[in-house]
Each structure stands twice: as structure tokens, then as C-alpha cells.
Amino acid sequence: MTLAECFPIWEKLTPEQQNRLAAAAVPKKASKGTVLHNGSADCLGLLVVGDGQLRALILSPEGREITLYRLFSRDICLFSAACILRSIQFDVTIQVEKDTQLWIIPPGLFKELADSSLAISSYVNELISSRFSEVMWRMEQVLWQSFDRRLAAFLTEESTLEGSPVLHLTHERIASHLGTAREVVTRMLRDFQAEGMVRLTRGTVELTDPERLRRLGGE
């Protein structure tokens, strides 16, 4: 997969802009668990995902995590180029969830192109709007939705992403996605198991009644 195939507005750029992006983009392979970007003080650059899966999360002062959104093939991560977003102070950590092949576009070059290209600046505005919509949706879930519904929705989403009813996830890992304590996850999963919706083994959650979980999660 090439940068041109993964950059959403490639065809709207001039040949000169395409050449500059292609020449400056740094290809990178990142393994699962790698932290690519760590907060607003880190200005890595624009991330263009070729293949794989990234996770955007925020950390509390106590070290508790919550997943904001994910990035998949042909997605772009703008918050990893925080220094070009002067009016936005948003401490997002970007972590690799599955081995990923990507490109890093230097923030200085991308800002220069965005300042001179209507196509790029419009895309940046659309991307910011889209990501903040995802973040607000996640915050609404945390603030207003009961934990059993959040957990059911998470398990359903994970099953869809993995293409399997068997999820190789620890309770600690689920807690880090949902911004809660491991004990809370364990207690709720045991309730789900007692009701026949999941089967628990060490490091594994099997969805035994996915349709019921979907209904509980609000799908």
C-alpha cells in the first residue's frame, strides 16, 4: 500500500504538493504496545496509517486510561502533530494496538502545505470536527450511560473488529479502555456470565449471547 492510496485527499493536491509529501514522509513499522505520541508536548508529525490499528487515549493524573477512538487503515492522526494546532491543547496518547505500517509527515511541512492549500486546510477542519465529535460521544457515554451498557457495547465492538466471539483480553485491559478499575470490570463480567451472555477463562472473554449484548449496548 502506498502513501497516495492512504492519503484521503491525494487527488486534490497539486503534483508539487504530492511530490513534497512523498519525499518528506517517513515510513515506519510499529509493533503492538508501542507509544507513538505522548501528549501535546510531543509533536511527532502527522500519522498516515497504511495497515494496522492505533488507539487514541487520555490518561488521568492517577494513570487511569480511557480510549477515545481508534485509527485504522487509511486513517490520519492529526493530534500527533499538536504543534500545528495552536488553539487546541489536547493531551492525547497514541498507542499501537496491532502491528502497524504507517508514514510520519513532518509537522512543519504539513502546516506549510495546509496554510497554502485550501484542500488541505478544509480537510484539517473536517478531521478536527470529526475527532471531537467522537471524543464528545465517548464522554457522553462515560457521563450518562450505565457501566453494564458501556461494557456490553465495548465487547460487541471488539468482537466485530476481531471477527470472532472469542476475545483475548484481560480484565485489566478492558478496564484501561473504559476508564475504570479492574475490579469493576471483573464484577460486571461475572454478572454477564451468570446471565449466560459471556464465558470467562483466563485472559479470554467469549461472547455466548452476542445478540443480547448488542441489545444491552444499545445497538
Instruction: Give per-residue pLDDT as tens, 50-84.
Output: 999 999 988 877 778 888 889 999 899 887 776 66
Structural domains of the chain, ranges and CATH numbers in brackets: 3-143 (2.60.120.10), 145-217 (1.10.10.10)
Bridge-based pairing state of the strands 204-207 and 46-59: unpaired
Distance, in Å, from the CA atom of 58 to the CA atom of 101, rounded to the nearest integer, reads: 23
Residue pair 53/72 in contact (Cβ under 8 Å)? The answer is yes
Cβ neighbour number for residue 140 with a 10 Å cutoff: 10
How many percent of the chain have pLDDT more than 90?
Answer: 48
User: What three-state secondary structure class fits 27?
Assistant: strand
Q: Please list the helix, strand and coil fractions of the chain in percent, rounded to the nearest 5, in that order.
A: 45, 25, 25
**pTM attached to this predicted model:** 0.76
